[in-house]
Chains A and B, each alone.
Chain A
Amino acid sequence: MAQAVVTAGSSAVAPHGGDHSHDTNTGVSNSKLGIWLFLSSEALFFGAFISTYFLYRGRDAQFLKGPTPDKLLNIPFTSVTSFVLLMSSLTMVLALAAIQRGDHRRLRIWLLATALFGATFIGGQVYEFTEFYRKGLHLGTNMFGTTFFVLTGLHGAHVTIGIIWLLLLWGRSMQGRLPAEKSEAIEIAGLYWHFVDVVWIFIFTAIYLIPTH
């Protein structure tokens, strides 16, 4: 039996301007399904490190031999870098909106802005790590050092991968190899980027804002 699908505009594109007709068994894009599955597994990955941090935090008598978190953590500084990462989520979603409108100039601007915000965040993290190291907190100094460096370091690695991904997309767009029909490539990178932002929301609260005692 024949069936008609009525679409807006000139072609049968997905409602948000993507290129996917989702001609799959699940009825959804395989790439998007893949990234959501990956992000779901990443929730477990980061959950392990956040739980470990909470498990050992405040156990000064047993594990805290070096500098204490209250003497090291610089909340105003990290608040600024957190703000920068939050703003990168806005520029990322504006990049997606731009490509869905077919506005490639703005797509490239927002992609670069996102990468730049990400790089600023990483710069802040490198500065913070250097300061902590200078004040005597190393990976093996105490449980705070171990859980802090591993958790924030892994998050920083994720941000770095995201920056490289965004720059690759920017390069593809510059070469004209990222037409509006391929907007799903931006959407998938965006999902990864927003997830990294969401993880930081919890890390920031857990490490910097929740009182130790």
Chain B
Amino acid sequence: MTEGTDLVTLPPEAAGGELVPAGDHQPVAAGEHSHPGPRQYVLIAVVLVILTAVEVATSYLEGTVNSNLLIAALGIMAAIKFFLVAAWYMHMKQDSSMFRRLFVSGIILASIVYGIVFFFFSSTVLKS
């Protein structure tokens, strides 16, 4: 047998549709798993719609509940929706963790940079 990788074909039910390393080395698509099916996608969409409806209803509570509580609730719901779309529709849960790390790094960097900008700008330039 020559150097390199040989491919052995099995029926889908035998391997569960996933790449399985048979040697010492990881297959190149390591870390990736099967994507969810249409049924799960529809279920996620239903949850997203319900969350959006709750968000909109919550915004009408302005004046009746503490505004900080309102902002926190809306922020949490937006974060949950973000997580659902990123994890399931963008397949961050199933794809290589390298993509997840890249994307999360961008978001963390943005949060730090604009957090600093926000803090300094509002406490100096825009201070009224």
Binding site for B on A (CB under 8 A): 1-12, 14-16, 20-24, 26-28, 32-33, 36-37, 39-44, 47-48, 50-51, 54-56, 59, 61-62, 75-76, 79, 82-83, 86-87, 89-90, 92-94, 96-97, 100, 187, 190-191, 194-195, 197-198, 201-202, 204-205, 208-211, 213
Shortest distance between the CB of A135 and any CB in chain B (Å):
21
Q: Known: A40-B102, A94-B41. Is A16-B35 also a contact (CB below 8 A)?
A: yes
> Which of B's residues lie within 8 Å of A, judged by CB?
1-30, 32-35, 37-38, 41-42, 44-45, 48-49, 52, 55-56, 58-59, 62-63, 67, 70-71, 74-75, 77-78, 81-82, 85-86, 88-91, 94-96, 98-99, 102-103, 105-107, 109-111, 113-114, 117-118, 121-122, 126, 128
Contact A27 B118 (CB under 8 A): no
Distance between Cα atoms of A197 and B78 in the complex (Å): 12
Please state if B56 and A75 are interface contacts (CB–CB under 8 Å): yes
Chain A residues in 8 Å Cβ range of B81: 198, 201
Q: Judging by beta carbons under 8 Å apart, are A39 and B106 in contact? A: yes
Q: Could you list 26 examples of A-B contacts with CB < 8 Å?
A: A1-B23, A4-B6, A6-B10, A6-B19, A6-B22, A8-B11, A8-B14, A15-B32, A27-B28, A27-B29, A32-B99, A40-B107, A61-B128, A86-B45, A89-B85, A90-B89, A93-B89, A94-B41, A97-B35, A197-B89, A198-B86, A201-B85, A209-B55, A210-B70, A210-B71, A211-B70
Docked CA distance A4–B25 (Å)? 9
- Are B52 and A86 touching (Cβ within 8 A)? yes
Tell me the smallest distance from the CB of B32 to a CB of chain A, in Å.
Answer: 6
| Cross-interface CB contact of B27 among A5, A42, A201, cutoff 8 Å | A5
Q: Taking the nearest CB of chain A, how far is it from the CB of B79, in angstroms? A: 9
Q: How far is the CB of A143 from chain B (nearest CB, A)?
A: 10
Instruction: Identify the closest chain B residue to A41 (Cβ).
Output: B106
Min CB distance A62 to B, Å, is 6
In the assembled complex, how far is the CB of residue A181 from the closest CB belonging to chain B, in whole angstroms?
A: 14
A27 touching B96 by the CB < 8 A rule?
yes
- A32-B95, A47-B113, A59-B128 known; A2+B1 contact, CB < 8 A: yes
Contacts of A94 in B (CB 8 A): 38, 41
Interface pair A86/B102, CB less than 8 Å apart: no
Task: Provide the bound-state CA to CA distance between A43 and B86, in Å.
Answer: 13
B90 CB → nearest A CB, Å: 5
B118 touches A54 (CB 8 A): yes
Residue numbers in B under 8 Å from A89 (CB-CB): 45, 48, 85, 89
Q: Which residue of A lies closest to B12 (CB)?
A: A8
Distance between B66 CB and nearest chain A CB, rounded to angstroms: 11
